Amino acid sequence: MRPIAAGELSEQVTIQRAAVTRGAANAELLTWSNGETVWAKVTERGGREPQLADRPVMLISYEVVIRAGVTVTHSDRLAWGGKVLAIDTVTPLPRGYITLRCMEVEI
C-alpha cells in the first residue's frame, strides 16, 4: 500500500458513540452523541440491493482512512456529509493510520 498524503484526508467525519438509557417503561433507548471530528479519506466501494422484509434496500460500502490517535470501535458510527455510516471493521495500518470499513443503509 502506498503512503497516504496529508492532502488525501480531505473529508471531515464525526465519530458518534452509542449510549443506552432506560425509557419510561424501562425499555432500552439507544442514543448517539458526537465525539471527535477528524479528517478522513472516504472511498465508496460499491453497493447492492438485497431484500429486507420484502422491501429493497440499498447497501453502500465505504472505506474510510483516518489518522491513528483516536479511539474508534465497531460499536461507533460515522456522520459524514449528511450520511450515517455503520462501522463494520477497524484495521490499524502502518504509518499511523486506521482503515474503517463502513456500510450506509438506504431504505
Tell me the domain boundaries of the chain.
6-106
Examine the pLDDT at 48 and tell me if it is beyond 90: no
Write out pLDDT tens, residues 51-89: 666 777 778 999 999 999 999 999 999 999 999 999 999
Q: Look at residue 107 and tell me whether its pLDDT is greater than 50.
A: no
Average pLDDT over residues 40-45: 95
Instruction: Give the pLDDT confidence of 4-36 residue by residue, as tens digits.
Output: 887 899 999 999 999 998 888 888 888 999 999
Quick: pLDDT tens for 86-103: 999 999 998 899 999 999
pTM here is: 0.83
Closest CA to 37 of 12, 74, 65: 12
Taking a C-beta distance cutoff of 8 angstroms, is the pair 85, 64 a contact?
A: yes
**Of 78, 58, 62, whose CA–CA distance to 70 is shortest?**
78
- List of residues 6+ apart from 82 with CB closer than 8 A: none
Q: Tell which CATH architecture fits domain 6-106.
A: Beta Barrel (2.40)
Q: Is 6 helix (H, G, I), strand (E, B) or coil?
A: helix
pLDDT computed for residue 33 by the predictor:
96
What CA–CA distance (Å, rounded) separates 72 from 60?
21
Closest CA to 107 of 51, 42, 29, 46: 51
